Amino acid sequence: MTIARIDLDDDVLERVMAASQAKTNSDAVNLSLCKVGHQHG
């Protein structure tokens, strides 16, 4: 796993966390990356 320091849009992060019921910021980001990766991979 790669550790990265990134800036996140708080509003988008909140929406992703609510829609996915992710419990952490990392979970929300990883879920989003996986979803985009599956759509375009």
> Over the stretch 2-19, which tens digit does the pLDDT of each residue have?
999 999 999 999 999 999
Is residue 22, in this structure, part of any structural domain at all?
Answer: yes
- Whether the pLDDT of residue 35 is over 90: the answer is yes
Is residue 36, in this structure, part of any structural domain at all?
Answer: yes
Domain carrying residue 23: 10-40
- Whether the pLDDT of residue 38 is over 90: the answer is yes
Is residue 2, in this structure, part of any structural domain at all?
Answer: no
**Percent of the chain topping pLDDT 90:** 95
Per the structure, the count of domains in the chain is 1
The 3-state DSSP composition of the chain as helix, strand, coil percent (nearest 5) reads 65, 0, 35
pLDDT at 1: 87
